[in-house]
Amino acid sequence: MRTDPLISNMVETAIYAQWLHRNWFIPYYAHWAKGEVDMVGLDDKTQAPKWAVEIKWGNKCFDHPGELKALLQFLRDNDLHSAMVTTLEKEGVEEVDGIRLQFVPAAVYAYTVGRNTLIQKQRRTI
């Protein structure tokens, strides 16, 4: 199954939109000559990457996690041992060269980020 790049872009935008409701958090992305990672969380003090998310709208990456070369290289370069990867509908955990990749459907991930944001905002106002 071939994924439509327009839908992929909309999914990425929808997930970013959920994170942007957190006025206490800034999501980043990593881009360099040989690749990119869709979303990166940085440590407030050191500005070093703490976590990464690769946003996909398809299941190919679940079936072939070794093809996530840019993500895997970013994780190795920054001494990170896990990352989240969204899919169309598959979920599970795969390990590639000692790196743990947690796969979750993009819709579930977007919902979870939105729900957690609302809960955290309520706690901040109490």
pLDDT for residue 125:
80
Q: How much of the chain is in helix, strand and coil states, percent to nearest 5? A: 40, 30, 30
Type of residue numbered 103: F
pLDDT for residue 28:
95
Both tokens of 13, joined, read 């935008």
Cβ(113)–Cβ(120) under 8 Å? no
Per-10-residue mean pLDDT for the chain, 126 residues long?
80 95 92 95 96 96 97 98 97 97 98 95 82
Which domains can be identified in the chain, with CATH numbers?
Answer: 5-125 (3.90.1570)
